[in-house]
Amino acid sequence: MVSTKRITLEPLAGALGAEVRGVSLATLDDAATWDALRRAFAEHMVLVFRDQTLAPAEQMAVGERFGAPCHYPFVTGMADYPYLFEIIKEPQETKNFGGGWHSDTTYLAQPPLATLLYAIETPARGGDTLFANTRAAYDALSEGMKRLLDGLVGVNSAALKYGGGRSNMHKSIGAMKIQGTDDADALEAEHPAARTHPETGRKALYVSRSHTIRFRDMREAESAPLIEWLQAHQTRPEFTCRVRWAPGTLTIWDNRCTQHSAINDYHGQRRHMRRLTVGAETPR
């Protein structure tokens, strides 16, 4: 456990993640504490804040401490807060939003550096989110594999080809305001397979089975075995942590050096979250 004057950090696991105690984000205006939180974010990559009361405007204000808000192309935002959208899974639904390991919106030319997810209603059991440290996964590679990846560029698509297509998946999510999924195939972006974090200078894997369809100058069939191997490697248990949600929990994660997967194990129960992404950046 690490403490500063105002906050306490309790690590979630050996690989990444920390629970932050002793702070109310809605009323926090101390510059030194915000600096400490940003340093903790760079170190732990996933920060969990319990027992927070955040109206939409307050969640926006917290997000702006990390970067400017980003638009998400496939879900309509809230009426007065277009950058915020609600993730709702009703008891009768069987498909969830955010399942499958990925980093958010890597199919955009400038993906967000951070995602802020706030829990409003959670199931009595289940509905956790897993996170993986892709920086540690890169560090654990052989020097030969690092040299190979340092020369590769991934082609990332919004189509969710491995999941049966974005349109089909989103049609089964009835409670959310889905839009524009028929054009998902056209949304692609190229990014380094191993990107460098602009603040820490450290490299992390930036390939996912969900979004990376191939490597530049390679066919999909040629790329698939390496994509599959990297996905399995970077989500090994020793690189992961698990966040258990409760109403009032806010989790902020660094999309530049993590992946996440929402576990769909709470059929018959309702889950209601509010999501914001911030800090559009060009991966290098």
Catalytically active residues are: 102, 104, 260, 275
Burial class of residue 33 in the structure, from the number of CB atoms within 10 Å of its CB (0-12 exposed, 13-18 middle, 19+ buried): middle
Q: Where are the alpha helices (DSSP H) in the chain?
A: 31-44, 56-64, 134-139, 143-150, 166-171, 220-234
Placement of tokens 């996912």 in the chain = 208
Please report, to the nearest 10 degrees, the dihedral formed by the alpha carbons of residues 108, 168, 117, 43 taken in order: -50
User: In this structure, what DSSP letter does residue 197 have?
Assistant: P
**Contact between 281 and 198 (Cβ < 8 Å):** yes
- In three-state secondary structure terms, 24 is coil
Instruction: Look at residues 109, 209, 205, 110 and name the one whose alpha carbon lies nearest to residue 159.
Output: 209
- Does the CA dihedral 252-234-16-206 come out positive or negative? negative
Instruction: Look at residues 94, 117, 138, 120 and name the one whose alpha carbon lies nearest to residue 260.
Output: 117
- Distance (Å, whole) CA 195 – CA 180: 29
